[in-house]
């Protein structure tokens, strides 16, 4: 059964009634453009085929959320942050309830998902966006995908308290079927970009215990660099607005490690634009080289890789048919994306799973999916 049918069945079994709405949303894999979304840069994610479904209905005076893994969260209404998975739904519900004139006084939720957890494919954004699409539709707030992404992003930053950029929620709410989505994170303009290369994802299996603290530290470093550069150039809005031609000179004015962080952000943003042109022109080798350069920069300048991620990248790069490989998402664990000559993806996934690089890897071919939908 697909997650939508499973969420509906779980809702009925738990609450003894049909859900009022069911919506589903995908996880994402970012092809290139890492750690630039919160600096106003460009990113190029695809939706993956795996989706999370959220079924919702009325419940007087309480918030009850169940997941198909047997977890049940029960709170009063309005619901407070509890430090667990249900916060992603509760955050969206609180923000949307504030926009409804006859405010709801409770909520029943059932969640079902095929999106792997902790693998760097943004299971949290899939959950938030599916919840936002279901509730906004049910409560008559419309399902404009930009508004859905914005509510999901606010739930993550304001309610859950993770200072992430807008990429994951935008990708889950808006990525077109079968294509990547070029997002300008400063203006939120989007453009579909065809992806004909095969994609393989390798899960490092590393926990992301480090990730939250390190991510926030990188954001602080970026803000500190921007504040310094603004004292010389008050008109500078985002780090990505630094002209690449002036970068060398600008970096000399920054102390380490801020110089490395800024260099990554500016060059990574340029790589996204060049990678988009390469994909549009069908130049897979050029695209693969940019993917490789992205990993090297994340490893050496942004310092968010791990020995295990580097080992998987090196193993992948040694396999015939591989065009490029890099860590995806925030880093410090998660997954490696391997870009492969069209038609060779299954073979490369098999070789990585079979122990290329000295040990078996959790490798699988990525199927490109599509944005959030209201299913019922
Ligand atoms: C996480 C965040 C995104 C983005 C990436 C790094 O996935 O949620 O907003 O910053 O890290 O590119």
For the chain, what are the domain ranges? 3-193, 201-365
Pocket of ligand 1 (CB under 6 A): 34-35, 37-38, 122, 164-165, 167-168, 329-330
What's 210's DSSP letter? T
pLDDT 10s digits, 60-96: 999 999 999 999 999 999 999 999 999 999 999 999 9
Model pLDDT, residue 23: 98
Residues 170 and 183: beta-carbon distance below 8 Å: yes
Q: Please, are residues 335 and 203 in contact by the beta-carbon 8 Å criterion?
A: yes
Residue range 238-275, pLDDT digits in tens: 999 999 999 999 999 999 999 999 999 999 999 999 99
Task: Convert the pLDDT of each residue in 304-354 to its tens digit.
Answer: 999 999 999 999 999 999 999 999 999 999 999 999 999 999 999 999 998
Selection from 88, 127, 79 nearest residue 106 by Cα? 79
Q: How confident is the model at residue 117 (pLDDT cuts 50, 70, 90)?
A: confident
The pTM score is 0.96
Asked if the domains at 3-193 and 201-365 fall in one CATH topology, the answer is: no
Query: What pLDDT, on a 0 to 100 scale, did the predictor assign at position 207?
Result: 72
The per-residue pLDDT for 74 is 97
In ligand 1, the atom with minimum distance to the C-alpha of 122 is: 7
Inter-CA distances, 271 with 8, 164, 165, 264, 369, Å:
43, 21, 19, 10, 24
- pLDDT for 209 equals 63
**Positive or negative, the Cα torsion across 151, 152, 156, 160?**
positive
* pLDDT tier at 299, thresholds 50, 70, 90: very high
How many Cβ atoms sit within 10 Å of the Cβ of residue 66? 23
Average confidence (pLDDT) over 162-188: 97
Catalytic residue (one of 37, 87, 114, 168): 168
Rg over alpha carbons for the chain, rounded to the nearest Å, is 21
pLDDT tens-digit series, residues 121-136: 999 999 999 999 999 9
Q: Specify the pLDDT at position 291.
A: 98
Specify the CATH superfamily of domain 201-365: GHMP kinase, C-terminal domain (3.30.70.890)
CATH architecture of 3-193: 2-Layer Sandwich (3.30)
Ligand 1 atom closest to the CA of 33, numbered from 1:
12
Catalytic residue status for 168 = yes
pLDDT score of 361: 84
């Amino acid at each position: 059964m697909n997650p939508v049918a499973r969420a509906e069945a779980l809702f009925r079994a738990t609450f003894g009634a049909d859900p009022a709405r069911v919506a589903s949303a995908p996880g994402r894999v970012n092809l290139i453009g890492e750690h630039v979304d919160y600096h106003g840069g460009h990113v190029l994610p695809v939706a993956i085929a795996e989706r999370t479904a959220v079924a919702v209905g009325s419940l007087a005076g309480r918030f009850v959320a169940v997941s198909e893994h047997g977890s049940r969260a029960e709170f009063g209404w309005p619901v407070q942050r509890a430090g667990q998975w249900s916060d992603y739904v509760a955050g969206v519900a609180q923000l949307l309830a504030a926009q409804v004139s006859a405010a709801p006084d409770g909520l029943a939720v059932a969640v079902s998902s095929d999106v792997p957890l902790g693998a760097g494919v943004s299971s949290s954004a899939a959950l938030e966006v599916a919840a936002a699409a279901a509730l906004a539709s049910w409560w008559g707030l419309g399902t404009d995908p930009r508004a859905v992404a914005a509510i999901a992003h606010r739930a993550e930053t304001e309610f859950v308290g993770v200072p992430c950029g807008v990429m994951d929620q935008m990708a889950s709410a808006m990525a077109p079927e079968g294509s990547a989505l070029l997002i300008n994170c400063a203006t939120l303009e989007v453009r579909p970009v065809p992806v004909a290369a095969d994609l393989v994802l390798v899960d490092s299996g590393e926990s992301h215990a480090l990730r939250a603290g390190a991510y926030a530290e990188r954001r602080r470093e970026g803000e500190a660099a921007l504040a310094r550069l603004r004292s010389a150039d008050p008109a500078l809005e985002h780090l990505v607005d630094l002209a690449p031609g002036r970068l060398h000179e600008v970096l000399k004015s920054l102390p380490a490690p801020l110089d490395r962080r800024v260099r990554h952000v500016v060059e990574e943003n340029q790589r996204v634009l060049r990678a988009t042109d390469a994909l549009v022109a069908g130049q897979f080798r050029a695209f693969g080289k940019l993917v490789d350069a992205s990993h090297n920069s994340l490893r050496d300048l942004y310092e968010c890789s791990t020995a295990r991620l580097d080992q998987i990248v090196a193993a992948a790069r040694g396999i015939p048919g591989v065009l490029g490989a890099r860590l995806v998402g925030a880093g410090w664990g998660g997954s490696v994306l391997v870009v492969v000559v069209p038609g060779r993806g299954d073979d490369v996934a098999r070789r990585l799973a079979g122990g290329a690089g000295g040990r078996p890897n959790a490798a699988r071919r990525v199927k490109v999916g599509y944005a959030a939908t209201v299913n019922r």
